[in-house]
Each structure stands twice: as structure tokens, then as C-alpha cells.
Amino acid sequence: MPQGKSGGKSGGISGGKTANISVGKFLTFEGGEGAGKSTQIKRLAAALETSGLEVTATREPGGSPGAETIRGLLLDPAAEWDAPTEALLHFAARADHYTTRISPALRAGNWVICDRFADSTRAYQGYGLGLPMAAIETLYEVALGDFIPDLTIILDVPVEVGMARMNARDGGPDRYEQMDFAFHERLRQGFLDIARREPARCAVIDADTDIDTVTERIFDCVSQRLGVTLSL
Ligand code: ATM
């Protein structure tokens, strides 16, 4: 079960939800652009289901009706949010996502896999845009109390590799994809720094190789850390 409040917010303005009845696990995937999160999440979800587990795959920003509405605001190309406003919107979305989707799924025993979570706010709004980490941690406490993922997988690729993969995709670049190399390097180093600070929660996977090898590395990591047997 997730460490900390184990499926119930015990801190923040929503304090009091301390019931420790979760039996599911909460896994998050993080990384910069072009790291391959979506493909790897699909593969992991399928393998966990094959092993007999119920899986909920979700994403941020978004993942619940309210949070998807906020995602629309965040990703609106016409919007010019400053870093504090962005962080507030991400945590508002996250609080709703947690309350209405993540927590109920964990309590039902599901393994929840989330494409991005709070480490993305630390990386993008903190390391990337310069918002003080203390402010981000305050918002975390308000939105989530002491709830933290059981495992965070950080897919690491050199910036030039991620950017090349991104440019090969259909569709125009979004706001962050347009940012310069230095911004993306701050993101990468930010994610690596988060992993160094929280080694029990985070695992860095070198994703600068073919898709099958990355999947193998992820399955090994999930098996070792969470005690399930997964096969390709
Ligand atoms: P996806 O591309 O993973 O759907 O995420 C949308 C963007 O939101 C992504 N940037 N790009 N491109 C990362 C950004 N983001 C943040 O800036 N802070 C956050 O807390 C989260 C969850 C996402």
C-alpha cells in the first residue's frame, strides 16, 4: 500500500481521512519529454493484469472529470500562467484526482499506475521554472497530506534523445516542448535529484535504448521492489 497515509489523507485541509484500509499499490511514472512513458505504462498495466491484479491506469494533469477540466486550462495554448498559478492548478487537479479516483481505486485493491504525479510539479514548476521547493511541498501537504507513491519510476533519457523522439511525433509542440535545451536539462537533473533524495521511493531507469529492453528493466524493478512476478 502507499507509504505515508496509505490511501487516506491525514494532513492538509482535508485532514482526518486516516483509515489505513488500502491494499492496492500506487506507482507513478515520471520523466522528460520523449522518455516513452505511455508505451511502458501500457505494457506494465497489461503484465500486471496478466498476473491477476486489477489495474487502474491514469494520468496527470487529469485523470478525473474535475482534473481533466483543469488540464484543459493548463494546456490551453492561449493561457500564460505564471509558475505559482501553474503549481496551484496542478495541485488542485491532483487533489480532485486523488480524492475521486486514486484513493477509491486503491481502497478497492487496485494497482494504480499514474502517468506523471507530484514529481512533475517539482521538476517542471520547481527545477524548470524556479518556484521554490518549499512552496511546492506546502501545496503537496495541503492537497495530499502524507500520501506518497509506493514506487516512482523515472525514465531517464539524454535531452537530445528525448527532443528527437518528440520531434518525430505528429502534432505541433506544446508549451514545454517549445522550451529550450537548458530548461529540459534542468528537468532531467531535477528528476535525478529527486531520485537521489528519495531512493526508497524512486528508481531511475535508463530509457536510452530499445523499447523491449526498457520494459525488461521496468519489470525487473517492479518485481524486486513490489514482489510481483512479471513476464514480457
Ligand atoms: P503530458 O505531456 O505528460 O500529457 O503532460 C502535459 C504537460 O504538463 C507536460 N509537459 N509537456 N509537454 C508536463 C506538464 N506538467 C507540469 O508542468 N507539472 C505537473 O505537475 C504535471 C503533472 C505535468
Within 13 Å, how many C-alpha atoms sit on residue 105's CB side?
22
Residue ranges and CATH numbers for the domains of the chain are 26-226 (3.40.50.300)
Nearest CA to ligand 1 atom 2: 33
Instruction: Enter the C-alpha cell of residue 60.
Output: 496527470
Residue 178 confidence (pLDDT): 77
By percentage, how much of the chain surpasses pLDDT 70?
90
Residue 16 confidence (pLDDT): 38
Q: Greater confidence, 208 or 9?
A: 208
Cβ of 174 less than 6 Å from ligand 1: yes
Within 13 Å, how many C-alpha atoms sit on residue 83's CB side?
16
Rounded to the nearest angstrom, the gap between the alpha carbon of residue 196 and the centroid of all alpha carbons in its chain is 17
Output the CA 219–ligand 1 centroid distance in Å. Answer: 24
Torsion, Cα of 54, 60, 64, 70 (10° steps): 180
| Beta strand residue intervals within 65-136, DSSP E | 111-115
pLDDT in tens, 199-229: 999 999 999 999 999 999 999 999 999 999 9
Residue 166 confidence (pLDDT): 85
Q: Does 9 score more than 60 pLDDT?
A: no
pTM score of the predicted model: 0.92
Residue 232 confidence (pLDDT): 80
Cβ of 121 less than 6 Å from ligand 1: yes
First-to-final CA distance of the chain: 24
What is the arithmetic mean of pLDDT over 94-99? 98
Cβ of 61 less than 6 Å from ligand 1: yes
Dmax of the chain from CA atoms?
A: 48
Residue 168 confidence (pLDDT): 85
Rounded to the nearest angstrom, the gap between the alpha carbon of residue 89 and the centroid of all alpha carbons in its chain is 16
Output the CA 52–ligand 1 centroid distance in Å. Answer: 31
Q: Does 33 score more than 50 pLDDT?
A: yes
Residue 105 confidence (pLDDT): 98
Nearest CA to ligand 1 atom 8: 61
Query: Where residue 112 falls among pLDDT bands split at 50, 70, 90?
Result: very high
pLDDT in tens, 152-176: 999 999 999 998 888 888 777 777 7
CA neighbor of 41 nearest in space, from 113, 98, 94: 113
Nearest CA to ligand 1 atom 10: 176
The ligand 1 atom at the shortest distance from the C-alpha of residue 91 is: 20
Cβ of 90 less than 6 Å from ligand 1: yes
Helices 83-97 & 65-75 angle (0-180, nearest 10): 160
Residue 142 confidence (pLDDT): 98
What is the arithmetic mean of pLDDT over 112-133? 98
> Per-residue b/e over 52-87, b at no fewer than 16 CB within 10 Å?
eeebbbbbbbbbbebbeebbeebeeeeeebebeebb
